[in-house]
């Protein structure tokens, strides 16, 4: 999204055009890499499950030598038949299969996600409403990291116990990003349902920073109240839902003049 915004901000002089060419080239490579290797849906998950390891050369299917045994048990039940999302990270022999709401919403708003992928992300949200929305929008990530692993991954911040804070907590501020993504994909009913959930609790709970628990049922153990960003997130979401044209202030459409490389990965079966 930063690269796309830079194209808009640069002057069309000689120096600006040189940077534009470099940015466009980077966008081609980056978008192809993320759309291809960071995208996960039912078909791709099945492919990873059947990966052979230690393949070499450009013909290798398992390009990052991911071990199928590293697939977490939860992802098989979490992945619906129709739907998909961008995963957290891909590194040699290991993938972070967690769902991150902020990244997936921005992927839609910035047009990193293709129209097919954007629709699949919305399909996933509807299919896994309880896990990702629960009783308070929106889970920052799913699932929470359990046992002692959260201490290693999150820097041992005591707020990051499972289903709390940045480790599976629910953050009302994310409501505006969800609403923008819903409007762009033509699914405003999802945002409306989420906003109604938030309205039933936020004012009564004095606008807390975040919520705890698998369903976001409890006000966060260390959450501050009367948080500006919780209030602002709700207000912006309401304004966009009332006037969808406002989404244009933050939304980037895919530049049709750019010839993006085709996807080599499967997409949601709803498309």
Distance between CA atoms of 156 and 148, rounded to whole angstroms? 9
Return the pLDDT at 156: 83
| Angle ∠(128,132,135) on CA atoms, nearest 5 | 110
Please determine, for residue 271, whether its predicted confidence score (pLDDT) is greater than 50: no
Please determine, for residue 260, whether its predicted confidence score (pLDDT) is greater than 60: no
Distance between CA atoms of 271 and 173, rounded to whole angstroms? 31
Q: Give the residue-averaged pLDDT of 178-205.
A: 97
Spatial contact of 75 and 45, defined as CB atoms under 8 Å apart: yes
Least confident residue range of 4-8, 151-155, 235-239: 151-155
Return the pLDDT at 263: 46
Query: Would you list the domain boundaries of the chain?
Result: 2-249
Least confident residue range of 148-152, 217-221, 237-241: 148-152
pLDDT tens sequence across 56-99: 667 777 877 788 888 999 999 999 999 999 999 888 777 899 99
Q: What are the beta bridge partners of residue 108?
A: none
C-alpha closest to that of 30 among 268, 258, 266: 258
Mean pLDDT, the chain, whole residue set? 90
More confident residue, 53 or 6: 6
Cis peptide upstream of residue 78 (ω within 30 degrees of 0) = no
**CA-based end-to-end distance of the chain:** 25
Return the pLDDT at 258: 52
pLDDT confidence tier of residue 268, bands split at 50, 70 and 90 = very low
Q: Which residue, chain included where needed, has tokens 């080239």?
A: 25
């Amino acid at each position: 999204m930063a690269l796309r915004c830079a194209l808009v901000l640069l002057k069309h002089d000689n120096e600006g055009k040189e940077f534009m060419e470099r940015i466009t080239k980077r966008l081609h490579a980056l978008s192809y890499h993320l759309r291809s290797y960071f995208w996960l849906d039912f078909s791709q998950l099945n492919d990873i499950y059947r990966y052979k390891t230690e393949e070499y050369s450009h013909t290798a299917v398992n390009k990052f030598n991911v071990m199928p045994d590293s697939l977490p048990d939860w992802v098989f039940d979490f992945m619906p038949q129709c739907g998909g999302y961008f995963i957290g990270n891909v590194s040699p022999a290991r993938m972070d299969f967690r769902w991150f709401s902020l990244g997936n919403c921005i992927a839609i708003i910035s047009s990193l996600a293709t129209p097919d992928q954007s629709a699949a992300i919305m399909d996933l949200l509807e299919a896994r409403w309880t896990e990702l929305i629960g009783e308070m929008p929106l889970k920052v990530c799913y699932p929470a990291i359990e046992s002692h692993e959260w201490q290693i991954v999150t820097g041992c911040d005591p707020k990051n116990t499972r289903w709390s804070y940045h480790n599976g907590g629910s953050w009302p501020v994310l409501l505006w990003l969800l609403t923008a993504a819903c409007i762009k994909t033509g699914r405003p009913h999802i945002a409306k349902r989420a906003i109604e959930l938030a309205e039933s609790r936020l004012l009564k709970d004095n606008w807390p920073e975040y919520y705890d628990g698998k369903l976001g049922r409890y006000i966060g153990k260390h959450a501050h109240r009367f948080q500006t960003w919780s209030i602002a997130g709700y207000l912006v979401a309401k304004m966009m839902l009332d006037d969808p044209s406002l989404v244009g202030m933050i939304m980037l459409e895919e530049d049709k003049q750019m010839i993006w490389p085709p996807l080599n990965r499967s997409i949601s079966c709803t498309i």
